[in-house]
């Protein structure tokens, strides 16, 4: 197994199933020594792994992904226990993406890390050639989120391994065994020790950063993300930090209301709203707000909540998250928001119904802070410009969407949004597209997941120069008046003043003779 499972003297990780609150088997936390050992073994295996041709690395990962896809029922059963994800949610979140996302990443990484020849000016750099290689950094530490304990790893683990790195994963303490299942399935097809899983909470995440990793990929809260970024900076290692979101849907008067209601419903409630790219705010033009809210409420009250296998909403992933949702809803109502539907737990497990709050204002937690639950705050706005201003001054800057029939206007407004992902008539699906960057601004952080823009976390560029010249370069020491004249002629050549250009080869040959004579024994 890839996980560090040796018993330790540290307190165990205790969890309950969100569906029925039954206790789950405790999981041992890794000690600092176990974490350091996992990093050391990964480094040893990585030294051989990075020497394998890209296609061999890709084929090994394809075998692992095929195995996980075939065994998806195992993962779905574990994630049902740990996070309460019901059948359809678990299938699309954690069961379906293994092979598809890997193949996407192969297409992104292969051309990006190929050796690239760089043309050098033959006059300034005669006899020389150069190329750039992409060198794997070594061992990547991945501090994983709980909301997508498998799918949330695709963005870091697949590109890291394809680039030739080793990986040590610290799962969330809320979903340790789901992530361990993924790590073990990878480890079964890869060199021993290359991928490891170490369990714990923030203390073990900090220990992983201090254990000698060469880069860190983190997804989580702003407070923890800032601490991770600062520690990585102190250690001089690259980090990619994603710290959440508070995405808004801008709903314009001319939108297709049926499609808009369906789209907002899905992207607000998928994974029970426990997604950094979930729609948490609807910025709705005032004179269509009553109709839109009524349509949303009509749909949301018909959605099925509860432990039925194919229910629309699973429970919240943990009690702490339920407490945040309760606090945000209570704060909004106390400050004057109108509760349209939902608003109270069902009484079973950690289930919470789809909740709409109308007439929300920017002083409310449900508008200002990340709720991470099945709650939509409706803010009535005075036109598109007002909505764009609100998005751009918000605390987070991950994504936003514009819902309108006028695609040209929607695209123009998207260009004005200060976010990482701006969508017109859809939302957040780009998280499943490996070729498109997933990033943000402000408190979302500056980390980039997906696309070639994310690869700087996993590789560093190395320049290789080959000089086939038989003699010295004309600009080498010793310096003299002739060298100054050569520089003067080169300046004129850049300015296209070519009247004296005929002298340049003569002077360069003279310089070479001078240098050879100087160094001749």
This prediction's pTM: 0.95
Two structure tokens written together for 159 = 């590109």
Q: Is there a contact between 276 and 245 (Cβ–Cβ < 8 Å)?
A: yes
Whether the pLDDT of residue 6 is over 80: the answer is no
The alpha carbon of 370 is separated from its chain's Cα centroid by a whole number of angstroms, namely 17
Give the confidence band of 124 by pLDDT, cuts at 50, 70, 90: confident
Two structure tokens written together for 448 = 């980039």
Whether the pLDDT of residue 478 is over 70: the answer is yes
CA distance 456 to 219: 17
pLDDT at 188: 98
CA distances for 391 relative to 141, 247, 421, 458, angstroms:
33, 8, 12, 32
At a CB cut-off of 8 Å and minimum separation 6, what does 508 contact? 474, 486
CA distance 296 to 378: 11
Residues with a catalytic annotation lie at: 242, 276
Whether the pLDDT of residue 3 is over 70: the answer is no
| β-strand partners of 449 | 438
| β-strand partners of 168 | 141, 196
- pLDDT per position as a tens digit, 178-201: 999 999 999 999 999 999 999 999
Q: 115 — phi, psi (to 5°)? A: -60, 135
Q: Is there a contact between 162 and 109 (Cβ–Cβ < 8 Å)?
A: yes
High-pLDDT (> 90) share of the chain, %: 95
| β-strand partners of 464 | 131
- pLDDT per position as a tens digit, 21-35: 999 999 999 999 999
CA distances for 398 relative to 219, 355, 423, angstroms:
13, 22, 11
Whether the pLDDT of residue 1 is over 50: the answer is no
* Distant-in-sequence contacts of 482-487, Cβ < 8 A, 24+ apart: 482/507, 482/510, 482/511, 482/514, 483/511, 486/511
The alpha-helical segments, DSSP class H, found in 94-221 are 98-113, 154-162, 176-187, 202-209
Q: Is there a contact between 152 and 219 (Cβ–Cβ < 8 Å)?
A: yes
Give the confidence band of 7 by pLDDT, cuts at 50, 70, 90: low
Q: 275 — phi, psi (to 5°)? A: -150, 135
Whether the pLDDT of residue 106 is over 90: the answer is yes
Residue at token pair 């990962």 = 61
Is the link from the previous residue into 207 a cis peptide, with omega within 30 of 0? no
Q: Identify each DSSP E strand in 17-97 by its residue range.
A: 23-27
Three-class SS of residue 495?
coil
- pLDDT per position as a tens digit, 293-352: 999 999 999 999 999 889 999 999 999 999 999 999 999 999 999 999 999 999 889 999
Task: Report the pLDDT averaged over residues 112-120.
Answer: 97
Q: Is there a contact between 352 and 315 (Cβ–Cβ < 8 Å)?
A: yes
**Structure-derived torsion over alpha carbons of residues 284, 286, 288, 292, reported in degrees to the nearest 10:** 40
- pLDDT per position as a tens digit, 494-505: 999 999 999 999
CA distance 77 to 193: 26
Please give the helix or strand (H or E) that residue 331 lies within, else none. Answer: helix 319-334
Task: Report the pLDDT averaged over residues 407-436.
Answer: 97
Task: Report the pLDDT averaged over residues 259-288.
Answer: 98
Angle 265-287-282 from CA coordinates, rounded to 5°: 30
pLDDT at 8: 57
Q: Is there a contact between 147 and 178 (Cβ–Cβ < 8 Å)?
A: no
- pLDDT per position as a tens digit, 443-462: 999 899 999 999 999 999 99
What's the chain's average pLDDT? Answer: 96
Which 8-state DSSP code applies to residue 95?
Answer: I
Dihedral of alpha carbons 283, 288, 289, 291, sign:
negative
Q: Is there a contact between 353 and 342 (Cβ–Cβ < 8 Å)?
A: yes
More confident residue, 317 or 5: 317
- pLDDT per position as a tens digit, 142-170: 999 999 999 999 999 999 999 999 999 99
């Amino acid at each position: 197994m890839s996980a560090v499972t040796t018993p330790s003297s540290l307190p165990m990780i205790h969890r309950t199933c969100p569906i029925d609150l039954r206790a789950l088997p405790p999981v041992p936390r890794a000690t600092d020594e176990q974490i350091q050992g996992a990093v050391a073994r990964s480094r040893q295996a990585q030294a051989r792994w990075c020497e394998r041709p890209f296609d061999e690395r890709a084929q090994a990962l394809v075998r692992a992904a095929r195995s996980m896809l075939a065994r998806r029922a195992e993962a779905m059963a574990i994630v049902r226990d740990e996070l309460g994800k019901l059948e359809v949610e678990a299938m699309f979140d954690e069961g379906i993406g293994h092979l598809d996302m890997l193949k996407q990443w192969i297409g992104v990484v292969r051309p990006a890390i190929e050796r690239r020849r760089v043309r050098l000016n033959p006059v300034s750099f005669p006899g020389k050639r150069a190329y750039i290689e992409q060198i794997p950094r070594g061992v990547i530490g991945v501090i994983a989120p709980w909301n997508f304990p498998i799918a949330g790893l695709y963005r870091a683990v697949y590109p890291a391994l394809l680039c030739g790195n080793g990986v040590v994963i610290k799962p969330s303490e809320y979903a340790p065994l789901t992530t361990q299942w993924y790590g073990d399935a990878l480890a079964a097809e890869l060199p021993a020790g290359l991928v490891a899983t170490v369990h714990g909470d923030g203390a073990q995440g900090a220990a992983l950063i201090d254990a000698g990793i060469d880069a860190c990929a983190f997804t989580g809260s702003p407070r923890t993300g800032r601490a991770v970024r600062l520690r990585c900076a102190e250690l001089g290692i690259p980090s990619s930090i994603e710290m959440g979101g508070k995405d808004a849907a801008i709903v314009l008067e001319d939108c297709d209301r049926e499609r808009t209601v369906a789209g907002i419903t899905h992207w607000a409630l998928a994974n029970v709203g426990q997604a950094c790219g979930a729609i948490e705010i609807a910025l709705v033009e005032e004179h269509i707000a009553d109709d839109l809210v009524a349509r949303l409420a009509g749909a949301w009250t018909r959605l099925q909540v509860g432990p039925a296998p194919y229910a629309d909403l699973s429970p919240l992933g943990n009690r702490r998250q339920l407490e945040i949702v309760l606090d945000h809803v209570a704060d909004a109502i106390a400050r004057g928001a109108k509760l349209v539907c939902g608003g109270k737990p069902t009484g079973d497990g950690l289930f919470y119904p789809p909740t709409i709050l109308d007439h929300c204002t920017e002083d409310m937690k449900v508008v200002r802070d990340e709720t991470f639950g099945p709650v939509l705050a409706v803010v009535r706005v005075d036109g598109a410009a007002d909505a764009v201003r609100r998005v751009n001054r918000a605390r987070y800057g991950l994504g936003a969407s514009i819902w309108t029939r006028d695609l040209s206007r929607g695209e123009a407004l998207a260009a004005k949004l200060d976010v990482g992902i701006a969508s017109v008539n859809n939302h957040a699906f780009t998280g499943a597209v490996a070729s498109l960057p997933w990033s943000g601004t402000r408190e979302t952080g500056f980390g980039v997941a997906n696309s070639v823009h994310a690869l700087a976390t996993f590789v560093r560029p190395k320049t290789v120069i080959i000089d086939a010249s038989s003699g010295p370069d004309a600009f080498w020491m010793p310096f003299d008046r002739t060298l100054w004249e050569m520089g003067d002629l080169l300046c004129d050549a850049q300015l296209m003043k070519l009247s004296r250009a005929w002298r340049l080869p003569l002077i360069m040959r003279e310089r070479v003779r001078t240098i050879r004579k100087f160094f001749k024994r």
